[in-house]
Amino acid sequence: MFSASCHYGLQAMFYIACHSSQKKNVELSEIAAEQNIPKHFLSKILQSLVKQKLLVSMKGPTGGFKLSKPADSIHIVDVVEAIDGLDIFTQCGIEHKECDENDPCPIHDEYHRIREEVFHLFKTKTLETMAEDLRNGNSLADFVKPPPQKK
């Protein structure tokens, strides 16, 4: 459903929401290591989120990243829109070019309903609500910390 950039961006934003504070920034290398994201790739994603004004980056010994505004005012859809755009919520589920209400694809009605539900969820959930869920171990625990690699 999402690009790799968007998936990693969401992981990073959840991680930053859980680990940053007004006095502490989160370093790129920490996020990359803890989330198992390639550092160079993550750097590009985070710089894009800085340009979109969702993150602030600081240089120097206390440098790193932090949210540009309170976590309760950044919705998941804001992050998705900044990285992938909102086409994901309007495109055909099987990429049929002519899919619309008048010429629906075989999954049009069901996929439309699911897209609407996901869009509503992402518009209502904030980074703060997600971070709180994660801190309480209620959901997405494996999203913020990837499972151990199989040997």
% residues pLDDT > 90 (the chain): 57
| CATH class in words for 4-137 | mainly alpha
Please give the average per-residue pLDDT across 94-121, as a whole number: 87
Is 126 in a helix, a strand, or coil? strand
C-alpha 75: how far from chain center: 9
What whole-number distance in Å separates Cα of residue 142 and Cα of residue 134?
Answer: 9
**Cα 41 to Cα 45: distance, rounded to the nearest angstrom:** 7
Structure tokens at 150: 């199989």
How does pLDDT run across 25-64, given as a tens digit for each residue?
Answer: 999 999 999 999 999 999 999 999 999 999 999 998 888 9
88-98: per-residue pLDDT in tens? 888 888 888 88
Mean pLDDT of 122-132: 91
- Rounded CA-CA distance 49/67 in Å is 10
Name the pLDDT band for 140 (thresholds 50, 70, 90): low
User: CA–CA separation, 71 vs 130, rounded Å?
Assistant: 9
Burial environment of residue 34 by CB neighbours within 10 A (0 to 12, 13 to 18, 19 or more): middle
Is residue 66 within a helix (H) or strand (E), and if so which, with residue range?
strand 64-67
Cα 28 to the center of its chain, rounded Å: 16
